[in-house]
């Protein structure tokens, strides 16, 4: 009995009264996955880009090389929203680019075989298998599309296809079609930094691919908060934002 009391006393002395917050060395090396690859895990202060051509934000794309169809979609966006409504205002999925370039943070969780992007915007997620599987045959198109990832050295490359073509690149409304493909690269250059690129290839909308480059700082003090988009969407409920009608010319 005396031994047990001494053992418990020793444990109590050693045990911290509460978990101390871990302060990471942001300049230190990137953390590793069990398989030795760099882990992209963390809450990231992803770049806010209401307009990917805004020269005030480093990494912007200078000129978007529109096709005739793409130019008509860009110039007609305001009138399109009058007739077909606003998909974002209707709380439909933002898609990859508008989720990444929106005003709310992104958390990445990752293991050897998957990367999960958790977007605070609308509390949405997107999964990226990194286990070498191909794209799914005959999968219906969707707002975020389907992604698979592979490693090129320490850079994770994520390819996305099969998007429905209803989303826009950014808040200002640069267009996309259902033929769009994205290639994202993620390179964790140190514990506190990801260098991210996204290359948009969409031959219906743009005559050549174009790339946006970002540097995301880790935001270790931030926790994602639930975002229930329809909870107080007064502009929609009261008719000032029209329910979204999908366009029929994006394929």
Partner 1 sequence: MKRKSLIVLAAVVAVLLGTPVIAHHSFDAEFDRTKPVTLKGSVTKVEWGNPHIWIFIDVKDESGTVSNWGVEGGAPNALFREGWRKDSVKFGDTVTVQGSRAKDGSLRANAMKVTLPDGRTVFAGSSGGGR
Q: Report, in angstroms and rounded to the nearest whole number, the Rg of the chain calculated over CA atoms.
A: 22
Q: Does 241 bind partner 1 (CB under 8 A)?
A: yes
Nearest-angstrom CA–CA distance, 181 and 40 = 22
Per-residue tokens: 219: 């935001």
> Hey, which residues between 110 and 149 contact partner 1 (CB under 8 A)?
120
What is the nearest approach in angstroms of partner 1 to the Cβ of residue 225? Answer: 4
Q: Does 222 bind partner 1 (CB under 8 A)?
A: yes
Of the pair 189, 228, the CB lying nearest partner 1 is at 228
Q: Does 104 bind partner 1 (CB under 8 A)?
A: yes
Tell me the number of residues near partner 1 by CB under 8 A. 28
- Which of 40, 52, 88, 92 is close enough to bind partner 1 by CB under 8 A? 88
Binding mask 144-183 for partner 1 (x = CB under 8 A): ---------------------------xxx----------
Binding mask 44-73 for partner 1 (x = CB under 8 A): ----x-xx--x-------------------
List interacting residues with partner 1 (CB under 8 A).
48, 50-51, 54, 78, 81, 86, 88-89, 91, 103-104, 120, 171-173, 222, 225, 227-229, 231-235, 240-241
């Amino acid at each position: 009995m005396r031994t047990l009391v001494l053992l418990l006393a020793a444990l109590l002395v050693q045990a911290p009264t509460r978990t101390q917050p871990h302060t990471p060395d942001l300049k230190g090396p990137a953390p590793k996955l069990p398989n030795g690859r760099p882990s992209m895990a963390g809450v990231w202060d992803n770049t806010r880009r209401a307009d990917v051509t805004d020269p005030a934000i480093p990494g912007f794309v200078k000129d978007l090389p529109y096709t005739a169809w793409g130019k008509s979609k860009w110039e007609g966006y305001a009138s399109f929203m009058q007739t077909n409504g606003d998909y974002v205002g209707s709380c439909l999925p933002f898609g990859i680019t508008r989720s990444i370039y929106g005003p709310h943070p992104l958390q990445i969780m990752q293991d050897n075989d998957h990367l999960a992007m958790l977007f605070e915007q609308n509390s949405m997620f997107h999964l990226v298998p990194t286990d070498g599987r191909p794209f799914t045959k005959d999968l219906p198109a969707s707002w975020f599309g389907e992604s698979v990832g592979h490693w090129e050295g320490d850079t994770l490359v994520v390819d996305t296809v099969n998007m429905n073509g209803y989303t826009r690149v950014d808040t200002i409304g640069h267009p996309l079609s259902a033929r769009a493909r994205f290639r994202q690269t993620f390179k964790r250059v140190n514990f506190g930094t990801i260098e991210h690129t996204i290359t948009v290839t969409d031959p219906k909308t743009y005559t050549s691919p174009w790339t946006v480059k970002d540097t995301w700082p880790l935001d270790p003090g931030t926790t994602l908060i639930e975002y229930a988009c329809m909870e107080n969407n007064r502009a929609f409920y009261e008719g000032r934002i029209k329910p979204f009608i999908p366009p029929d010319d994006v394929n």
